[in-house]
Structures are given as C-alpha cells and as structure tokens.
A and B are shown apart, each in its own frame.
Chain A
Amino acid sequence: MTQVSPVIQVQDVSFSYNREPTLTNLTFEVPEREFLAIIGPNGGGKSTLIKLILGLLEPNHGRILVKGRSPRKMSKIFGYVPQDVNVNIQFPIAVMDVILMGRLRHRGHFGINKQDRQRVMELMTMTGIPGLENRKIRDLSAGQRERVFIARALAADPDILILDEPTASVDTAGKTELYALLKDLNETKTIIVVSHDLMIVSSYVKSVACVNQGIHYHPKNEITETMLQMGYHCPVELIAHGQPHRILKTHGDF
C-alpha cells in the first residue's frame, strides 16, 4: 500500500460516559481518501467513536488529531450524517432549510445567498430527491429523510464524510444508489461509514474496523477471524450466497 498521510490520528483514546468504559485504548490512523467501514455490536461504541472524532465528545484519555489539529478546531472539515434522522420530526421546517444548514458559515460567509440555494438544488438531484425542496420534513418517508441528511452533510463541501448507519431506512435499490454515490465521492473525500450492511463492506469500502470497546482495524475489505472473536461476532448480515469468502477469510488462509 502506498504511504498516504493520515487525516485522522487516534492515539490511545479511552472514553466512558459513567464508570463503565465505553472505549479503551484505541489507537489507529485513517489515511487520506480512505473508505472505512466501522462495524461492531450494538453498544460497542461505534457512535461514541464517531462523536469523539467529530469533537462532539472529549476523550477522557489520549488524543485525537484531525490533519494534525484538535477535532474542535477542524469541525468544519466534516460532513456528518447522524444515526437518528427522525429526531425532531414535528419541527416546522422545509427540506431546503434543513439542507441549507450545511451551508452555515460556509467559507466564513455569514448568512445564506443565491449560490447556496443553487448548490442545495444540485445536491438534491445528486442524492435522488429532486423537487422536494418545499416539502415539510415530517411529510417525507424515512428513506427520503435519510437522503436529505446526506445532502445536508454534502452541502458543507466536507473533506471528511462521516455517516452513522446511513442506509438503515433505505430500500435495496436506494442502497445501491447511495453506495455508488459514496464511491464517487471517495475520489476526493475520506469517508467513514458505520454499517451493519454486508453489501457495503464487501464491494465498496477499502478497509474495515470492528469496534467493541477496543478496535480491530483491518486495511482490506474483509472481516477477519480476530474481529469475529473480539466481538463474539460482528453483527454483519452474513448471507451465504454470493462470494462469502470475499467477506470472511477461512482458517489457514494466511
């Protein structure tokens, strides 16, 4: 593998909400233009790890660097799609205004202008929701809302795109579309995606990390035995047909 400078460095990071440790002694680096899938059991700390990288949480121990600086200082570099897109669903807000949030303080300019609206329309076409700009967010389907949130993340022109289970409420055809879009975006952006979805792990990502209090980082798109052992089993939707050996290495395959 060619040596690419890391955009994210996680150095001996530990974090706990209460007494129980959520994450302990995590150390890994994410190189530039990586496409990383984070898998792991529920409650294993995937979302927590993402919030630490985004600077929304502070580690109790260790440090995280984004392009050599603290995540809080670099927060605008991120495009973030949170896990729960149904939060605040009764809020009186139109799709356009949600996506425009991604343009807040864009390149230092205050307020929203014509170009921002133009860009939102482009992004809506790109994410497969053209013409919905004046619809209320509560009138959309969960899958459409998911796309609105992806468009909002992209509106910030981020260098690093972080998605927390972005396909949870999208149908199979929609998933393929979204993964293809992410693959295109990966030409210029670093992408981290939390997913339980085998499809994305097998055919789109460049590396896989299993997070369950600790981390097992694997710089190939495979799930290794170690991952399965550390998480008892990583809850990947293992489907038998297709090419399972691409996903799961067999014993003695080293």
Chain B
Amino acid sequence: MSSDNPIEIVNLRKEYGTFVAVDDLNLSIKKNSFTGFLGPNGAGKSTTLKILTHLINATSGEAYINGIDVTKDPKAALTGVGTVVETPEFYSYLTPKETLKYVGQIIGMSAESISSETSRILAKVKMTEWENKKIGTFSKGMRQRIALGQALMNNPNVIILDEPTSGLDPRGMAEMREVLKNLRNDSNNLTVIMSSHVLHEVSDLCDRIALINHGKMIVQDDISIIGNSDGTKRMIVKVEEAPNKETISKVMGLNNVISAERFGNDIDVMVKGDAGVRVQFFNDVSALNIGAYSVSEEDNLETAYLKLIKESR
C-alpha cells in the first residue's frame, strides 16, 4: 500500500442478503488531506466507515489503514486511529476526564501521557470547564465534542468521522465545525475522512472529496477541481415579484447563461465562465429592469454533487 495513502480501500464489498450496500468500492485517502466522504442516504458511506472501524465485517475486499488490513487485524489497523462514528453515547456515570482516561488506558497510554493529553484535548474541544461533571447531564453538542476529544487521544494520524454534526442544533454544529477547523489548521500530520450530508460544512472543512452512490465510487478528487469541473456557476437572482415566463426568458437571453428557471420566488441561473463573466452577469441582470435586488453565487459543491449523483443513477 502506498505510504501517501493512510486509508486505502480495495474492492470492498458488503452484502446484506441480496442487498449490496458496498459494491466493490475502491478508495484512496491522501496523506494529510481532509476528505469529505459524500453520497446520498443509503449510498454506503456509513457501512464503509463502519467496516473501517471494525463495527461490521466486510463480505469481501480489503480496507487498509496505515498499511494494515482492518478486516484481517483490526487491533493493529486501528492503532493510531481516532474515530467518531455517528453520534456515540458515553458511559453517563463518567466525567469527560474519566472518559478520556478510560480511552487512554485502553490504547495503552502511560498515566503521565493520559494526564497531559487529557488537559490538552479538553482545552482543544472547549470542555475544560466541564471536565469533572458527569457526561449524563451534557447536551448532544457537548457529548459530540467529547466524542471528538476521545478520538484525539494519543495524537492519531488518521481520524474517521461519520456525520460528526448530525443531530446537533445550529449552535452545536457551529461549535463542532470550529473545533474541526482548528484541528485542521493546527495539525501537521493528520489525515481525516469525514462523511457528511452538510455540503457547505464539507466545502468549509475539506480539501478533497470522495463521492459514492449505490456503494460505488463516483469521483474522488480535490474539492476545487470537482466544484469547477465544467466552469459553470449557479447563481440565484432575487427579484421583487415572483418571476413570470417573460422575466425568465429575459434572463435566459443574457450572455453566458446556460439555463434559467424559476426557483420559488427567485430565479436559478447557471452561468458559464470566470469571475469576469459573473461580474458582467450581475451588471446585465441589473440592467434588465426585472426588479432584481440580489445576485448570489451558490455553493459549487452542491451543484457538482447534484449533477454527479444524477449522472450516476
């Protein structure tokens, strides 16, 4: 296995009776990358990550972490790996400090390392204030930060995150994202794979994308390449009154516009071209006198995602 790819999945397959959840999947996660693992519900993301974390067994294929096949030697493969799978629960009778100590003892850290790591990590996930309170009393957001904290014990070089912000309220999501962002910015030798349905979160955090559907790999590449694969940008034009056919056709007639359609009370426009083209589009829309008061560029990843998923059906 390549030393540049701490995670390497080869022809991985998981069958539940006649249903194929993961269909001979191949995936390579580059060293020091923060990879968003995307796909619609039922695409096989969680199944893949559960095989990687030894929560379920593969039907066939290999899944290497740091060169060790987790399907053959899970204990060795998961050494040096931190995981947050779905929304884990903690032993409610333990405090964050005791939880991290327990995890540290399981992975064989010395008492001194556990003590110093615990303080460092609790500060990192902003839980120092609650370090001696029973986890049973914590909110979901706080628990999820503890979940990330336990994944960071002993400085892992690989972290596997399965929908780490799922089920959190907006504040919890924002707090978790901030912690993940700091983690990305502060770490030199860290490879992260993170499944998520929240595309703007993936855009914000990840530098690479792996997209799967029906258990098969659709595309894996740098986020900048996937987001701009055909140079098309999605623009949303907000107008004073709900757009009629005439308004839509006026927009459609502008230069570099690929498509224009009604999107609620707004107009959803696909524009092909660089930043200069988009400036021109803004000016052209303003000059149309259709009551436009806002033109915003939508997340490219979402556009690319929807297009790729549609093509893969």
A and B associate in one complex: no
Q: CB within 8 Å of B: which residues of A?
A: none
